[in-house]
C-alpha cells in the first residue's frame, strides 16, 4: 500500500522519527501509524480499483514542521552556558553594549529552556537523585544560570527588581538541590525571617557574635569545598566533553557542577541581601530628604493670634511683652536721627575726662623738658616713698621708735652708717 510519495514522504518520515524518539525519551507509549496519518495528513482522493491513497499535509503537519526547526533543550542549555562563561571572563565593562546583548540573549535562551523543562516535566518530586539520568542532571542548573545572568543586568532604575528576581532563582535552585540531597547545606532565610531574627538579636550581643562566627566558619568550609570541586572538575572535564568517559564519571562530573553552583548561589544570595538593604536605605533617605525639602520650601508661618485675645489686649493690656514692631537696628537709627544717641562706635566724652587727659599730657611733657619744679617734686616724692614704706601709719604702735619719737628704724640705721663712716 502506497501511503505517501515524494516530498510528503520525507517530511512525514522525519516527523515520525521525532515522535518515536520523543515517546522513547519520555517513556510514553508509541503512536500507532494510523493515528499519525489521521492527525497529520488529509486524504484527498481514492483511486478506483486500487488501494493507493494520496495524502496532503494538514495544518497540524505544518505546525509540527515548524516545531522541528526550533532549538532542542541541549542546544539551549549549552548556548546559554557558553554565553554565561563569556560574560564572566570578559574584559569589557559589564555595562557595555556587547556584554548586555549577551546577557539578554542568554536570559532568553534560559527562559525557553525553563519552559521546555516545565512542559516535559523532566524532574518530579516523586523521584530520587539516583532515578534522574546522568545526562539530565545538568538541567537542574538552569535556575542558577538565570540568577547569575540576572545579576549582570545594569539598569539602575530596575536594580532592586533584578536583585529580587535573581535571588528568587538562586533560592529555587538551592531548594531543588536540597530536595534531591545533592549536598549538605542550610537554605538561606527568607527576608521576613531574617528581619525578625535581626530584631530579636539586636538587644543581645552574644548571639550576634555566635552567628558571625558560624557564618565565618561556613564561608571557610565553602571555600575549601570550592577549591576541591574545581580541582576535581578540571580532571574530569576533558574526558566528559570528548565523550570518552563512562556513565559513572559523567554523573560525577555533573554532580560536582551542581555542588559548585550551590556554593556560588549561597554567596550570591548573601551579597544580594546586603545590596538590597543598601538600596532600600537609599530610597528611604531620598524620601526623607524630599519631604524635608518640601517643608523648607513652604513660606514661614505667621503667629497664630485669636481676634478675641487681640481685642481684649487692647482694652486690658496684653499682660506680656507685645510683638515687636521694629528691629533693633531700626530703633537705633531712629534715635540716632533724633540725636538721642551718639554715633555708632564713638564714645561720648565729658569735660572732666578731657581736663584729666590734658593734665596727664602736660605732666609728661614737662618731665620730658626737664622742668625744675617738676623734677624737684618728683625727687621729693621718691624720697618720701623711701622713708615711708607700704603700710606706714598703720602699725598699731608695733614699730621701734627712738626716744625723741617720730624717727623710724630706717632713719636711725642711716645715721649710724654716717657716724661710722666719719
Beta partners for 57?
Answer: 41
Q: Which of 32-41, 302-311, 313-322 has the highest mean pLDDT?
A: 302-311
Q: What is the pLDDT of residue 290?
A: 66
Q: What is the pLDDT of residue 26?
A: 44
Distance CA 298, CA 300 (A): 6
- The answer to whether 75 and 99 are in contact (CB under 8 A) is no
- For residues 34-55, give the mean pLDDT: 47
Distance CA 249, CA 238 (A): 11
Residue 35, pLDDT above cutoff 90: no
Distance CA 183, CA 326 (A): 82
Alpha helices in 156-204 (DSSP H): 159-179, 191-201
At 116-167, the pLDDT tens digits run: 998 888 888 888 888 899 889 999 999 999 999 999 999 888 999 999 999 9
Record the pTM. 0.53
Count of C-beta atoms within a 10 Å radius of residue 180: 19
At 56-111, the pLDDT tens digits run: 455 555 554 445 455 788 999 999 999 999 999 989 998 899 999 999 999 999 99
Check: CATH 3.30.559.10 for 72-199+208-294?
Answer: no
Residue 408, pLDDT above cutoff 60: no
Distance CA 278, CA 39 (A): 58
> Who contacts 58 (Cβ-Cβ below 8 Å, separation ≥6)?
39, 40, 41, 42
- The answer to whether 168 and 151 are in contact (CB under 8 A) is no
Q: Give the H/E segment covering residue 115.
A: helix 97-120
Q: For residue 282, what pLDDT band results from cuts at 50, 70 and 90?
A: confident
Residues in the chain: 422
Q: Give the H/E segment covering residue 413.
A: helix 409-421
Residue 407, pLDDT above cutoff 50: no
DSSP 338: T
At 224-274, the pLDDT tens digits run: 888 888 888 888 888 888 888 888 999 999 999 999 999 999 999 999 999
N- to C-terminal Cα distance for the chain?
Answer: 176
Residues of the chain with CATH 1.25.40.540: 72-199+208-294
Question: In this predicted model, which residue has the larger pLDDT, 353 or 62?
Answer: 353
Amino acid at each position: 500500500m502506497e501511503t505517501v510519495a515524494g516530498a510528503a514522504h520525507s517530511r512525514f518520515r522525519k516527523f515520525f522519527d521525532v515522535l518515536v524518539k520523543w515517546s522513547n525519551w519520555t517513556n510514553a507509549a508509541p503512536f500507532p501509524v494510523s493515528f499519525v496519518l489521521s492527525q497529520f495528513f488529509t486524504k484527498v482522493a481514492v483511486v478506483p480499483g486500487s488501494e493507493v491513497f494520496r495524502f496532503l499535509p494538514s495544518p497540524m503537519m505544518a505546525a509540527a514542521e515548524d516545531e522541528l526547526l526550533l532549538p532542542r533543550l541541549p542546544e539551549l542549555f549549552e548556548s546559554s552556558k557558553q554565553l554565561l562563561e563569556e560574560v564572566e571572563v570578559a574584559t569589557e565593562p559589564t555595562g557595555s553594549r556587547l556584554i548586555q546583548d549577551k546577557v539578554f540573549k542568554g536570559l532568553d535562551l534560559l527562559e525557553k529552556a525553563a519552559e521546555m523543562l516545565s512542559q516535559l516535566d523532566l524532574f518530579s518530586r516523586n523521584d530520587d537523585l539516583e532515578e534522574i539520568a546522568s545526562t539530565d542532571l545538568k538541567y537542574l542548573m538552569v535556575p542558577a544560570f538565570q540568577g547569575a545572568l540576572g545579576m549582570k543586568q545594569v539598569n539602575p532604575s530596575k536594580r532592586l527588581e533584578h536583585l529580587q528576581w535573581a535571588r528568587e532563582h538562586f533560592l529555587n535552585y538551592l531548594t531543588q538541590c536540597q530536595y534531591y540531597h545533592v549536598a549538605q547545606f542550610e537554605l538561606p532565610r527568607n527576608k521576613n525571617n531574617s528581619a525578625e531574627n535581626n530584631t530579636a538579636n539586636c538587644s543581645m550581643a552574644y548571639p550576634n557574635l555566635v552567628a558571625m562566627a558560624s557564618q565565618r566558619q561556613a564561608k571557610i568550609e565553602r571555600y575549601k569545598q570550592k577549591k576541591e570541586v574545581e580541582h576535581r572538575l578540571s580532571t574530569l572535564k576533558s574526558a566528559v566533553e570528548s565523550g570518552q568517559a563512562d556513565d559513572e564519571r559523567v554523573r560525577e562530573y555533573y554532580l560536582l557542577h551542581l555542588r559548585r553552583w550551590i556554593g556560588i548561589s549561597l554567596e550570591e544570595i548573601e551579597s544580594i541581601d546586603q545590596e538590597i538593604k543598601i538600596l532600600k536605605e537609599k530610597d528611604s533617605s531620598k524620601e526623607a530628604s524630599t519631604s524635608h525639602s518640601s517643608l523648607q520650601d513652604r513660606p514661614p508661618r505667621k503667629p497664630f493670634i485669636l481676634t478675641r485675645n487681640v481685642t481684649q489686649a487692647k482694652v486690658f493690656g496684653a499682660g506680656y511683652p507685645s510683638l515687636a514692631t521694629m528691629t533693633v537696628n531700626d530703633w537705633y537709627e531712629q534715635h540716632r536721627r533724633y540725636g538721642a544717641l551718639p554715633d555708632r562706635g564713638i564714645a561720648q566724652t565729658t569735660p572732666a575726662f578731657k581736663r584729666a587727659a590734658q593734665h596727664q599730657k602736660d605732666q609728661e611733657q614737662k618731665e620730658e623738658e626737664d622742668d625744675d619744679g617738676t623734677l624737684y617734686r618728683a625727687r621729693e616724692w621718691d624720697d618720701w616713698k623711701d622713708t615711708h614704706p607700704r603700710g606706714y601709719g598703720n602699725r598699731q604702735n608695733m614699730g621701734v621708735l627712738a626716744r625723741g619719737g617720730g624717727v623710724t628704724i630706717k632713719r636711725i640705721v642711716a645715721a649710724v652708717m654716717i657716724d661710722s663712716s666719719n
